[in-house]
Amino acid sequence: MSDERTLCPWLEAGVEALHAAVARRAAKDVGICEVPPGSNRSGRIDQYNAAVGAPVGSYWCASAVSAWFREAGAMTPPMGAASCDRWMTWAKAQGLWRSEPAIGRAVVYGKPGDASHIGVVVRTAPHLLSMEGNTTLDGYSRNGEVVTLKYVRVVRVLGYIEPKAAP
């Protein structure tokens, strides 16, 4: 079992506990890869999708964020948590939609009216970084194959989702 102090060691004391828990939970999955590449499958990826009712082999960025939020003790959309659009709609309805990044917030990418990718902000300075699943090691792709740390592509950001403790 990994030592919590080694995950996201840059987190400052002022980061809210739930936000830090979400960032640390996401960091635990760095390096998970599709097996075979391009299949949208692996043991953990299948778990992500099964937990939110998504078919095996589905795109899995939102399913990964759902797992990280849920396992850190944060709320997730009650239905459709495998959909980036559903995350955005749910967050707006719950008053959790934000325009500014913060550690532990989900970052939603896409075009107005079409959320197409989601990750979790894990650092805001000196660089804005996110942990993302179903992504590539470089560039942007809707069909990646790994969980990795990436620069937040601000030009594609639609907004951010504030984590809220699950009841």
CA-to-CA dists, residue 1 to 4, 5, 47, 124, 134, angstroms: 9, 12, 19, 27, 24
In a domain, 5, yes or no: no
In a domain, 9, yes or no: no
Given the structure tokens 């937040």, which residue do they identify? 152
In a domain, 89, yes or no: yes
Host domain of residue 146? 15-161
Q: What is the CATH number of the domain that holds 44?
A: 3.90.1720
In a domain, 93, yes or no: yes
In a domain, 79, yes or no: yes
Which pTM was predicted?
0.93
In a domain, 1, yes or no: no
Residue 9 CA neighbour count, 13 Å, CB half: 4
Query: How many domains are there within the chain?
Result: 1
**What are 95-154's pLDDT values in tens digits?**
999 999 999 999 999 999 999 999 999 999 999 999 999 998 766 555 678 888 888 988
What is the total residue count of the chain?
A: 167
